[in-house]
Chains A and B, each alone.
Chain A
Amino acid sequence: MISAALASYSLTAIYSAMGVYLFAFIAFTLDLAKRSAESPLATVNSAARVGQMTRVGGTAVLDREPVVAAPQRASNRFERAAFALTILGWVLHVIGTVLRGVAANRVPWANMFEFSLTASAIIVGVFIAIQAWQNLRFLGAYITGFCLIVLGFGTVGFYVNVVPLPPALQSYWLVIHVFVATLGTAFFAIGAGLSLVQLIQARREAKSIAGLKFLDTMPDAEKLETLAYRVIVVGFIFWTFTLMAGAIWAEHAWGRYWGWDTKEVWTFIIWTIFAGYLHARATRGWRGARSAYLAIVGFAAVMFNFTIVNLFFKGLHAYSGL
């Protein structure tokens, strides 16, 4: 049977991806270890600048101080290797996930096994893509480690053979709703990672913990907080859309757009926590550590929703496939 063959190729690709991620994880960890030996980042001086006028022929030239680019770390061999491995692992990961979809002749996110494949692929994909905007490679160990765990549980704990979609899932909303939810999850994951580093960084800045010298090579707590905020805002938009799309789908499938089904409840809880996070960022006394904790709690709720709620809570969204 072709489909069975494809499904087994898919699994092979996933196992290979996991192997490569493992090496990427090790290299990222070595990179962190190596950072400890480096000198701290020069902070960008954003004080007011007054330019100088010079005269060249008939045109005045305003010389501005060169904009201080974020200093590049000199010795980032491990980081580069780790990132290259991450990309390689991701390609295998995507191939495995797509093959699974081809084997099932539908989108590869209809049960928990497939959802772990797709969600972790999207998380790594967003992590790779986001580097074009900001160098967040210091989160590499966190992201690859996290995805190894997800894939490990997915393949070992949740594996199911390819089965057709039950009637309730036969809807294009499966494609939209779940895909956007995973996108949101990816941004929340990165945001939680940044908030975590922010919390540790803030402790170091307050001198309440020592050691962890590698943190000197990372942005300061305030910068981390801003980065986390910007990432989480994107996640929040996706999550809002997930909530709405889910409601529309529920209306088609179950005849009501909102019925406080367990899964709906948790989607709502997560949305509310992150709305709280956005508020915290705008409330005096809540910036900094407190809002960072909210970001982490929010992501923990996302994980709880995917694992405990799927497996142990009763509800209409019984799609774990187990």
Chain B
Amino acid sequence: MSRPSDHIDSPAPSTRESISQPKLGPIGYIRFFWRQLTSMRTALFLLLLLAIAAVPGSVFPQRSSDPNGVTQYFANNASAAPVLDKLQLFDVYTSAWFSAIYLLLFISLIGCVIPRTIHHAKALTSPPPKTPARLERLGSFSAFEIEADAAGSTLTSASAVDSGRAVLRRAGYRVKLFDGRGLDGPEFSASAERGYLRETGNLVFHISLIGILVAVGIGGGVGYTGNKVLVTGQAFANVRLTFDSFTKGRFFTDSDLQPYRLKLDKFAVNYEEKNRNALGQPIDYTADVTTFDASGTATKAVIKVNDPLRIGGNNVYLLGNGYAPWITVKNPAGKTVYSEPVPFLAQDANLTSLGIIKVPDGLASQVGMRAFFYPTANENADGVLGSVYPDLRNPVLSLVVFTGDLGINAGVPKSVYVLDTDKMTPLAGPGTADGTMALRLKPGESAQIPGGLGSVTFENKAPASDGADLSQSVQRFASFDVHRDPTQGWVLFFAITVLAGLLTSLFIPRRRLWIKVVELAGGRLRIEYAGLARGEDPTLDAAVAAIAQRHSQQLGLRLNS
């Protein structure tokens, strides 16, 4: 079957071959190596190795899926982390060793599949092989002796085999008749085979795996992923520079970005309010957006979790959300030097959120603030604030203020979510010389920045008439991922053929079946039935029995069992 030589159905290696290793020339070595690489043992070994190699990626945080986790790991394990990083344990799935394993596996796979495909293509067009001389040696065998006139009219070996052929054909076998002289007399036989689809399925399965790998590889090369945080009312254009972060494949070009704009009109969150066990659990996120195509035509759309927006060859996903308190900073003269919504990162289920405000210009010295936002603030007995509900019931902003060098002049890019206070002194909050407390503001309130640097205001974006309803006072932001993966459809296609190939290769039995009629001395006939499984075939015996049954019926004989 042209399977790897250590396949269970391949003939066992002759001992002579393995003992007297001939001297191998260069070609010999290459062939030897290739044989090893494409053996079942190697494939098995590489498969298991791949499974083991995938484990560390679930133990250590991965840059691809959890970059913050990696940063944190470095902070917590300062001595071990760089060593682990050298071993690429934070990039397991793109690491040299992981890639080496799967590439070897796929080379092995290709080397295994090509000869099998060629062999199978030949098998598909060639007739079943000659009937073996001794069928009784096969596992599934039965034989019956009858008088030639047992069925009333005279049976000949030829007519009996002929009707056998019809029975086999009806059962989906490909049949070839043979005629010859056996050990006990002249014999006629039908050699039949079925289940070529089993091998076809197996090949389709393995080839589709290659297809998936290739499609994934190409997709990674030409696709891209951009992330954009939008506060309600904001918009972005599908241009590389407008994204907050953008990763692209090696072969990506900016012309792959189709021009469109997307504006976040409204972002609504529903919280569970009735079920006491789940108070405040988010039930639904809805982003109402307006999209504008190249010609400026506006279309309204809704994006939800599990329900992305397909636009301009992209998918736009709603991935995250949170609060974006609007902060205004003024200098002592009352001139606004900073005024914008600041997206805060949620720290817990009740949306206690952390945000960073950096004011590099316009004040006497640079100012940085580390801010905690509590949508429903509650002060515990020790005077520590916490949020007890994720919606805006009692919004409070707490600001720890620093002044000094923000460290952003050196041109080194700094995360907007990190405040480097190494070269700064605290003005309000923990660590101040005079014990100045952190500033606490409710929407609409202002406070002086200590040291006479100016003032900071926590804007109320929906000043209600009665002043008590703060439920709309702070805006929300939604974070959108924009993806393009042009080969995704191919991956799905191959995944489906993987499954289809698997089903056919595991459930279609491939077997050979023979019906032989031997003319014995004295006008007697011996009818033999035998079957041979090729691969797993739990129903072989039953299949042979069924053919025997149908054949004898056809002949007018009755099988008693």
List A residues at the B interface (Cβ < 8 Å): 3, 46, 48-53, 55, 58-64, 66-67, 160-168, 170-171, 226, 229-230, 233, 236-237, 240-241, 244, 247-249, 251-262, 265-266, 268-269, 272-273, 275-276, 279-287, 294, 309, 313-316
Distance between A306 CB and nearest chain B CB, rounded to angstroms: 14
Complex CA gap A283/B146 in Å reads 43
Judge whether A229 and B536 touch: CB under 8 Å: yes
Complex CA gap A165/B146 in Å reads 72
Complex CA gap A258/B483 in Å reads 13
Judge whether B317 and A62 touch: CB under 8 Å: no
Judge whether A167 and B278 touch: CB under 8 Å: no
Q: Given A60-B558, A233-B506, A275-B47, answer yes or no on A164-B283 (Cβ-Cβ < 8 Å).
A: yes
Judge whether B58 and A265 touch: CB under 8 Å: yes
Q: A62-B144, A163-B277 are in contact. List 17 more A-B contacts (CB 8 A).
A: A46-B139, A48-B141, A51-B145, A61-B558, A62-B146, A62-B559, A62-B560, A160-B277, A170-B306, A247-B495, A254-B319, A255-B308, A265-B55, A272-B47, A273-B51, A276-B51, A287-B8
Distance between A236 CB and nearest chain B CB, rounded to angstroms: 8
The answer to the question of B311 belonging to the interface, with a C-beta cut-off of 8 Å to chain A, is no
Residues of A within 8 A of B65 (CB): 259-261, 315-316
Chain B residue at minimal CB-CB distance from A279: B44
Distance between B90 CB and nearest chain A CB, rounded to angstroms: 12
Judge whether B275 and A164 touch: CB under 8 Å: yes
The answer to the question of B143 belonging to the interface, with a C-beta cut-off of 8 Å to chain A, is yes
Judge whether A167 and B51 touch: CB under 8 Å: no
The answer to the question of B64 belonging to the interface, with a C-beta cut-off of 8 Å to chain A, is yes
List B residues at the A interface (Cβ < 8 Å): 6-10, 12, 40-41, 43-44, 47-48, 50-51, 54-55, 57-59, 61-62, 64-66, 69, 92-93, 136, 139, 141-147, 150-152, 216, 225, 272, 275, 277-278, 281-285, 304-308, 315, 317, 319, 481, 483, 485, 488, 491-492, 495-496, 498-499, 502-503, 506, 536, 538, 541, 552, 556-561
Judge whether A64 and B559 touch: CB under 8 Å: yes
Q: Given A283-B7, A283-B44, answer yes or no on A59-B151 (Cβ-Cβ < 8 Å).
A: yes
Judge whether A237 and B503 touch: CB under 8 Å: yes
Residues of A within 8 A of B7 (CB): 282-284
Distance between A319 CB and nearest chain B CB, rounded to angstroms: 13
Residues of B within 8 A of A53 (CB): 144-147, 150
Q: Given A64-B142, A167-B282, A255-B319, answer yes or no on A280-B558 (Cβ-Cβ < 8 Å).
A: no
19 A-B residue pairs with CB within 8 Å:
A49-B141, A49-B142, A50-B143, A59-B150, A59-B556, A60-B150, A64-B559, A67-B561, A163-B278, A163-B281, A164-B278, A170-B306, A244-B499, A253-B305, A253-B317, A268-B54, A279-B43, A284-B12, A284-B40
Residues of A within 8 A of B315 (CB): 255
Residues of A within 8 A of B57 (CB): 260, 265
Judge whether B305 and A60 touch: CB under 8 Å: no
Judge whether B58 and A313 touch: CB under 8 Å: yes
Q: Contact check: which of B43, B66, B305, B481 meets A314 at CB < 8 Å?
A: B66
Distance between A123 CB and nearest chain B CB, rounded to angstroms: 22
Q: Given A55-B150, A166-B282, A283-B44, answer yes or no on A252-B308 (Cβ-Cβ < 8 Å).
A: yes
Chain B residue at minimal CB-CB distance from A63: B560
Distance between B163 CB and nearest chain A CB, rounded to angstroms: 15
Between A61, A258, A265, the greatest number of chain B beta carbons within 10 A of the residue's beta carbon is seen for A265
Complex CA gap A237/B507 in Å reads 11
Judge whether B557 and A60 touch: CB under 8 Å: yes
Q: Given A49-B142, A244-B499, answer yes or no on A252-B8 (Cβ-Cβ < 8 Å).
A: no
Chain A residue at minimal CB-CB distance from B304: A167
Judge whether A170 and B305 touch: CB under 8 Å: yes
Residues of A within 8 A of B499 (CB): 237, 240-241, 244
Q: In terms of DSSP, what is the predominant structure of the interface of chain A? A: mixed
Residues of B within 8 A of A62 (CB): 144, 146, 552, 557-560
Between B10, B48, B485, the greatest number of chain A beta carbons within 10 A of the residue's beta carbon is seen for B48
Distance between B167 CB and nearest chain A CB, rounded to angstroms: 16
Counting from the closest, the 9 A-B pairs by CB-CB distance are: A60-B150, A163-B278, A161-B277, A255-B317, A283-B40, A272-B51, A167-B305, A262-B58, A276-B47
Chain A residue at minimal CB-CB distance from B483: A255
Residues of B within 8 A of A66 (CB): 561
Residues of B within 8 A of A255 (CB): 225, 308, 315, 317, 319, 481, 483
Q: Given A167-B306, A257-B488, answer yes or no on A61-B560 (Cβ-Cβ < 8 Å).
A: yes
Residues of B within 8 A of A51 (CB): 142-145
Residues of A within 8 A of B557 (CB): 59-62
Residues of B within 8 A of A282 (CB): 7-9, 40
Distance between A89 CB and nearest chain B CB, rounded to angstroms: 28
Residues of A within 8 A of B481 (CB): 255
Judge whether A269 and B54 touch: CB under 8 Å: yes
Residues of B within 8 A of A233 (CB): 506
Residues of A within 8 A of B6 (CB): 283-285
Q: Contact check: which of B61, B146, B225, B483 meets A60 at CB < 8 Å?
A: B146
Judge whether B281 and A166 touch: CB under 8 Å: yes
Judge whether A167 and B43 touch: CB under 8 Å: no
Q: Contact check: which of B54, B136, B536 meets A48 at CB < 8 Å?
A: B136
Judge whether A283 and B285 touch: CB under 8 Å: no
Complex CA gap A3/B278 in Å reads 13
Complex CA gap A195/B174 in Å reads 37
Complex CA gap A304/B44 in Å reads 22
Complex CA gap A167/B41 in Å reads 46
Residues of B within 8 A of A237 (CB): 499, 502-503, 506
Q: Contact check: which of B69, B306, B536 meets A252 at CB < 8 Å?
A: B306
Complex CA gap A53/B93 in Å reads 68
Judge whether B319 and A276 touch: CB under 8 Å: no
Chain B residue at minimal CB-CB distance from A280: B44
Complex CA gap A48/B137 in Å reads 8
